[in-house]
Amino acid sequence: MASPRTVTIVALSVALGLFFVFMGTIKLTPRLSKDAYSEMKRAYKSYVRALPLLKKMGINSILLRKSIGTLEVACGIVMTLVPGRPKDVANFFLLLLVLAVLFFHQLVGDPLKRYAHALVFGILLTCRLLIARKPEDRPSEKSLLGNAEEKPSLYEKAPQGKVKVS
């Protein structure tokens, strides 16, 4: 049977992966939701206006939106379908992306309700990454040495309840 840690990692990976595939698709095409797509276009125009450095680098709102959407879809697919270390790499990239989006929201002065989902999913990505990177629990020293009676103890109880040092 799978350990609770494994179940947690798989559940978070699939849920987060599907969410980012969905959100990335909304940024790339109006097929899922025309209203959400229009809102994304408007939001990314305000991000580029608020950060003139992007304009100087030749990055317009369309390129920024499509780049972020493509990265979200790619990393979401990896988190959903690909086993092993690539999931952690995708998780890390998505976490950086969420931090950038939170920065953009703060830059344009959006209210909390506009970016609360990014905050929540950033926390979930962080939790998934911490759980996945935590080393596996090793067997205890007692189970490695066998029976506890075979291992000499530094402190043994004396018959009268006193501690005897051996």
pLDDT tens track for 109-153: 989 999 999 999 999 999 999 998 887 665 555 555 555 455 555
Structural domain count, the chain: 1
- Single pTM value for the model: 0.77
pLDDT of residue 95: 96
**Inside any domain, residue 123:** yes
Distance from first CA to last CA of the chain, Å, rounded? 43
Q: Cβ(107)–Cβ(50) under 8 Å? A: yes
Q: What are the backbone angles phi and psi of residue 51, rounded to the nearest 5°?
A: -125, 85
**Inside any domain, residue 153:** no
Q: What is the average per-residue pLDDT within 92-118?
A: 93
**Inside any domain, residue 156:** no
Q: Cβ(97)–Cβ(59) under 8 Å? A: no
**Inside any domain, residue 154:** no
Task: For residue 45, give its domain range.
Answer: 4-135
pLDDT of residue 138: 58
Which comes out higher in pLDDT, residue 89 or 144? 89
User: What are the CA-CA distances from residue 165 to residues 141, 147, 148, 151, 154 (Å)?
Assistant: 22, 21, 17, 15, 6
